Structure 1
Amino acid sequence: MKADVTTLAAGKAGTVELSDEVFGLEPRQDLLHRMVSYQLAKRQAGTHKSKGRSEISLTGKKFVKQKGSGGARHGDRKAPQFRGGGKAFGPVVRSHAIDLPKKVRALALRHALSSKVKADNLVILEDTKVEAPKTKALKEAFAKLGLKSVLFIDGAEVNENFALAARNIPNVDVLPVQGINVYDILRREKLVLTKAAVESLEARFK
């Protein structure tokens, strides 16, 4: 399929041929959901921790007689029911990551790209070169292009001036093509790919 190429100044810069194998699939919600769940689970720190009764620093001396107290037969103060005692079945340090085959992850990325094409939310940009890192000028350029919530994917290296100018604009993300991922694509309304990014993606999935 063919797509129009635009410039940052909202001018026309010809067309580019998009591969149907990458941008022309029928999006599957189940694949996208599995991939987003995989990403969010993997990035959880999993550093939450509470102490069990074996880790509490309290005396282990039996503090009440076994018989005759009229109460329960407690062994020590570290039991979960006492103030300062260990937590029963508390959280432990662990990984929240789940398994997802590499081929499924790659397919989910293609479906995410295709979903943007189908929703007419894909913009192909000639490049992201700007003369100076001026946020005000970049905001005006985005307004001309109708970009409010947007993810920019550049080539192997992001233009430094563009990244500096864009980082203070809310709801705007800028990533190199190596960092493209399903979650960031779906969380923004528009996806903007440079010509270099399109070539890199098509070479990656060839």
Structure 2
Amino acid sequence: MKVTVYNLKREAVGELDLSDDVFGTEVKEHLFYEVVKAQLASRRAGTKATKERSAVAGSSKKLYRQKGTGRARQGSIRAPHHAGGGHAHALTPQDWSYRPPRKVRIGALKSALSLFAKENRLIVLDTLDLPEIKTKALVTTLETLQVGKKSLVVDSPSNEKLVKSIRNLVEHQFLPPEGVNVYDLLRHDHLVVSREAAKALEARCLR
């Protein structure tokens, strides 16, 4: 498929031939669910924990003899029903992360890229070279490109002026081609990529 290439003033300066297998494939929305669920599950800290009776402070000695006192039998001051005792069913740290098969991950990424291309929310730029490190100037450029309130900007991480200009913006995000993922794609309105980044994304999906 051919897409129009723009400059930073949103003037058409040429065309770029992209693979239909990456930017023009069938959109399989069920893959979005599988991959996003895995991404969010992997972000869970899973660090909640409470102490069971073996982990709390206190003697393990039997409080008093079993019979003859007229009192209820007791085994340890660390039992759950005593003040300061351990939890009966203690919470333990868990690892919630899992990794879907590679075909599912790549299929979801291809579907997301194709969705942006199909809905005309993919903007390919000839270059993303900025004249200076200035957030306000970048905001003006993004408004000129008509990318809406939220955009994902993809270019080489060596583009220091772009990286430093965009890092203070809450609604806009920068990612290198190797870091583009389904979750971050779906939560932005537009995808802005340089010519080289578009080819890098294509090569990543076709590996």
| TM norm structure 1 | 0.90
Q: Which residue of 2 aligns with 1:135?
A: 135
Distance of aligned partners of 1:23 and 1:69 in 2 relative to their CA distance in 1, 3 Å threshold: farther
1:8-157 equivalences under 5 Å are 8-63=8-63, 66-67=66-67, 72-147=72-147, 148-155=149-156, 157=157
Does the Cα contact within 8 Å between 2:18 and 2:199 map onto a contact in 1? Answer: no
What do residues 66-102 of structure 1 show as CA deviations (whole Å, max 9, x unaligned)? 3466664331122223332212333222321124112
Report the residue type matching 1:186 in the other structure. Answer: L
- Report the more deviating stretch, 43-52 or 146-155: 43-52
Q: Which residue of 1 aligns with 2:161?
A: 161
% identity of equivalent residues: 39
- Report the more deviating stretch, 88-97 or 52-61: 88-97
Does the Cα contact within 8 Å between 1:10 and 1:141 map onto a contact in 2? Answer: no
Q: Which residue of 2 aligns with 1:204?
A: 204
Report the residue type matching 1:183 in the other structure. Answer: Y
> SS in structure 2 opposite 1:113?
helix
Q: Which runs of 4+ in 1 moved over 4 A?
A: 67-72
How many equivalent pairs are there? 205
Give the distance between the partners of 2:133 and 2:40, measured in 1 at CA. Answer: 32
Distance of aligned partners of 1:16 and 1:67 in 2 relative to their CA distance in 1, 3 Å threshold: same
Distance of aligned partners of 1:8 and 1:61 in 2 relative to their CA distance in 1, 3 Å threshold: same
Report the aligned-residue RMSD: 1.9
Distance of aligned partners of 1:82 and 1:187 in 2 relative to their CA distance in 1, 3 Å threshold: farther
Distance of aligned partners of 1:125 and 1:53 in 2 relative to their CA distance in 1, 3 Å threshold: same
Does the Cα contact within 8 Å between 2:38 and 2:99 map onto a contact in 1? Answer: yes
Alignment of 1:189 with 2:176, yes or no, is no
Give the distance between the partners of 1:88 and 1:34, measured in 2 at CA. Answer: 35
Distance of aligned partners of 1:67 and 1:142 in 2 relative to their CA distance in 1, 3 Å threshold: same
- Report the more deviating stretch, 48-57 or 79-88: 79-88
Structure 1: gaps of 5 or more residues: none
Structure 2: gaps of 5 or more residues: none
Distance of aligned partners of 1:90 and 1:190 in 2 relative to their CA distance in 1, 3 Å threshold: farther
Deviation at 1:134, TM superposition (A): 0.8
Give the distance between the partners of 1:53 and 1:136, measured in 2 at CA. Answer: 58
